Amino acid sequence: MISKVYISHSPADEEMALQLSRALWRVGLESYVALYNLSPAISLAERASFGLRNSECLVALLTVEGSTSSEVCQEIGLARGLDLLIIPLLEEGAKLPFLIEHLRPLVFREEKYADVVGLLIKILRELSRLEWLKVTCPKCGEEMTQYLTPQEDVEEALAKSTFLETICSYCQNKIRLDARTFEPRL
């Protein structure tokens, strides 16, 4: 069962990695991201090793720049050595590093990044027991926890290009949720 995910990314892809991390947090998955900024007293290599050894899955964010990043390639190598599940997110035009060129990546374009995040969440739902959804109300800022929307309802909303809906238990405002990433909107 997957409960912790390591997101491998180049420093240039930090914002995309943080967006992915927030989406995973909303569905109850812990992720190791932004290790570049955490605990500067510990070397980057030790931070990466710690994050990978404490995860069940590596998500490799491979943009055109990120796919040639030595840090990303080394993290993939360590994940292979630890026999972790590796799920590559590959930007169109990028090339898979040779250690994972046998894997089938989830391909995306930058402007459609939320689509691939939604597909990744669907895959992780199939491999995990994700039951809870964390929602932060965009109006009052309160965080609430509720049951995760059934995948059938998510699929229906995606097919109709509509939002999922909930109500803030604090301020009682309606909240629309992006069906791919569960990102809240008023």
- Confidence (pLDDT) at 15: 94
Of 165, 162, 160, the residue nearest 176 (C-alpha): 165
**Single-letter code of the amino acid located at 71:** E
Q: What is the pLDDT of residues 52-87, one digit of tens each?
A: 999 999 999 999 989 999 999 999 999 999 999 999
Q: Angle 44-53/70-81 helices, nearest 10 degrees? A: 40
User: How confident is the model at residue 39, as a pLDDT?
Assistant: 73
| Sheet arrangement for strand 184-185 | 164-167, 174-177, 184-185
pLDDT band at 186 (very low <50, low <70, confident <90, very high): confident
- Residue 167 has phi, psi (to 5 degrees) of -125, 135
Residue 40 confidence (pLDDT) above 80 = no
Q: What's the predicted TM-score (pTM) here? A: 0.93
What are 102-134's pLDDT values in tens digits?
A: 999 999 999 999 999 999 999 999 999 899 999
